[in-house]
Amino acid sequence: MTAITQTTWTFTCKACTIIRNVLVGAFVAMIFGERALIFSPLGTIFMKLLKMVIVPLILFSVTSGVTSIGDSNTLGRMGVKVFGYYMLTSILAILVGLSLTNLLQPGKGINFSVDSNKFDPSTLSQPNSLADVIIRMIPSNPIKAMADGEILALIFWSIVLGIAITQISDKPKKAIIKGFDYGFELMMKLTQGIIAFLPIGVFGLIINAIVNSGIDLFKVIGFYWITIAIGLSIHWLIILPLVFYSFTKINPIKHWKAMSSAFITAFSTSTSLGTLPVTMNCLKKNIGVSNKTSSFVLPLGATINMDGTALYQAVAAVFIAQTIGMDLGLGAQLTIVLTAVLASIGTAAVPGAGVIMLVIILEAISVPSAGIALILGVDRILDMLRTVTNVTGDASVAVAVASSEGELKN
Ligand code: ASP
């Protein structure tokens, strides 16, 4: 008998409570509208509690993960697996998005005039160029990077710190590794305390999301919205489970159930980074993925692996081109595949960041970025859906790596 049947793969009724609170929150928001915002501080407080733990959690988890991987060969082997899986699922997501948008043509007949639109894309905070993203990965001051919440820089610092720790002499090495392991244990304890407030937090967050969802705009660009929702569902319900099963031979339904708290948190917070503590907790407690794997795979995945965002960006780019009557040829579609992979890597794992990086794709295919005005208003709920897909991708990679490293077997 394998350890997969021995591990718990729990779907506790805590998940039922959370789902119930999401539904009650949605109901309250629809009945009371803006007056329901009186409950939104519950969501804000919960988000702040989650954010409070993220920087120290990443520092301790990535460093202790790298030290427990130990030698550079294993680190390299895991790195190759992780990146291979990230790339595969992101490209599949983009292909799903592109095929659907070409098939359904949601932008045909909308006639959006960029000239007459007052929207100025420079009002969006400007995206970093991709070279910039790589340069900013290396912190000139790690303490400042932590204080500023520069997550990629923090991950880079934690990885090199972990590698350096493995190179020093035995006595201090053991003591320092122990220190980081204890630090990680402590952060996970703190995380579990915070997660106890998840049912209350999602109630406030969902009210906020629904009241500010821009539902009126659905009449105009509902078909665009539906195209993305269908694309994300295909990726979430068909593609990811198939890829997951072919790599792990584990029943995806069990995995999806065990991850349910993380999915609901992603849905209500719209941030993969904010969801990270919950994702880690589900993988560790419900599935039995080791600290070594989850510490290495998840922070990196939350920051650079975004299947849902990549799919969304591909659909949005083609949709905007369709609304201004531009036909995109094969070359432009291939450019979208490439830039969407890169843009999703560069997208910060926070609410609404996917729209900002969309500018890069639009510029690459010469579509005016002012077209973003059309889709901004309905972004919130799409953001919730794509964040669930992003977190699912990260969690699947972690289980696939754990399974290939023999962690989930006897
Ligand atoms: N909100 C998404 C995430 O955190 C990023 C995006 O805007 O697409 O994963």
The predicted-structure confidence for 363-373, as pLDDT tens digits, reads as follows 888 888 878 87
% pLDDT > 90, the chain: 42
Task: Tell me how far the alpha carbon of residue 376 lies from the centroid of ligand 1, in angstroms.
Answer: 14
Kindly report, residue by residue over 41-88, the tens digit of the pLDDT.
998 998 889 889 889 998 998 898 888 877 777 888 888 889 899 999
Contact 291, 61 (CB under 8 A): yes
**How many CA within 13 A on the CB side of residue 122?**
0
| Residue 409: count of CB within 10 angstroms of its CB | 10
Q: How far is C-alpha 128 from the chain's CA centre?
A: 19
Q: How far is C-alpha 329 from the chain's CA centre?
A: 30
Q: CA-CA distance, 71 to 302, in Å (whole number)?
A: 24
- The continuous run of DSSP H or E covering 195 comes out as helix 170-195
Q: CA-CA distance, 22 to 203, in Å (whole number)?
A: 6
Burial of 73 (0-12, 13-18, 19+ CB in 10 A): exposed
Tell me what the mean pLDDT of segment 380-400 comes to.
Answer: 93
Q: CA-CA distance, 331 to 248, in Å (whole number)?
A: 35
**pLDDT range class, residue 176, cuts 50, 70, 90:** very high
Question: Whose CA is closest to atom 8 on ligand 1?
Answer: 354
Q: What is the mean pLDDT of the chain?
A: 85
The answer to whether residue 220 scores a pLDDT higher than 80 is: no
Tell me what the mean pLDDT of segment 257-261 comes to.
Answer: 92
Q: CA-CA distance, 408 to 117, in Å (whole number)?
A: 55
Tell me what the mean pLDDT of segment 281-299 comes to.
Answer: 90
Burial of 218 (0-12, 13-18, 19+ CB in 10 A): middle
State which of 89, 152, 315, 350 you would mutate to test the pocket of ligand 1, scoring each by most atoms of that ligand within 8 A of its C-beta.
350
**pLDDT range class, residue 410, cuts 50, 70, 90:** very low
Contact 370, 113 (CB under 8 A): no
Nearest Cα residue to 319 out of 100, 49, 58: 100
Kindly report, residue by residue over 182-217, the tens digit of the pLDDT.
998 899 888 888 888 888 988 998 888 888 766 666
Task: Tell me how far the alpha carbon of residue 353 lies from the centroid of ligand 1, in angstroms.
Answer: 6
**Ligand 1 nearest-atom number relative to CA 356:** 7
**pLDDT range class, residue 380, cuts 50, 70, 90:** confident
Q: How far is C-alpha 391 from the chain's CA centre?
A: 5
Q: CA-CA distance, 294 to 397, in Å (whole number)?
A: 9
**pLDDT range class, residue 119, cuts 50, 70, 90:** low
Helix (H, G, I), strand (E, B) or coil at 14: helix
Task: Tell me how far the alpha carbon of residue 387 lies from the centroid of ligand 1, in angstroms.
Answer: 5
Task: Tell me how far the alpha carbon of residue 352 lies from the centroid of ligand 1, in angstroms.
Answer: 6
Specify the amino acid at residue 48: K
The answer to whether residue 133 scores a pLDDT higher than 50 is: yes
Contact 147, 258 (CB under 8 A): no
Nearest Cα residue to 223 out of 310, 315, 314, 340: 315
Contact 281, 192 (CB under 8 A): yes
Q: CA-CA distance, 395 to 262, in Å (whole number)?
A: 9
Ligand 1 is surrounded, with C-beta below 6 A, by: 270-272, 306, 309, 347, 349-354, 383, 386-387, 390
Contact 285, 12 (CB under 8 A): no
The pLDDT value recorded for residue 128 is 60
**pLDDT range class, residue 327, cuts 50, 70, 90:** confident
**pLDDT range class, residue 280, cuts 50, 70, 90:** very high
Helix (H, G, I), strand (E, B) or coil at 58: helix
Contact 302, 275 (CB under 8 A): yes
Task: Tell me how far the alpha carbon of residue 2 lies from the centroid of ligand 1, in angstroms.
Answer: 36
Tell me what the mean pLDDT of segment 308-329 comes to.
Answer: 91
The pLDDT value recorded for residue 378 is 76
Tell me what the mean pLDDT of segment 228-255 comes to.
Answer: 95
Contact 239, 96 (CB under 8 A): yes
Structure tokens at 67: 């030290």
**Ligand 1 nearest-atom number relative to CA 302:** 9
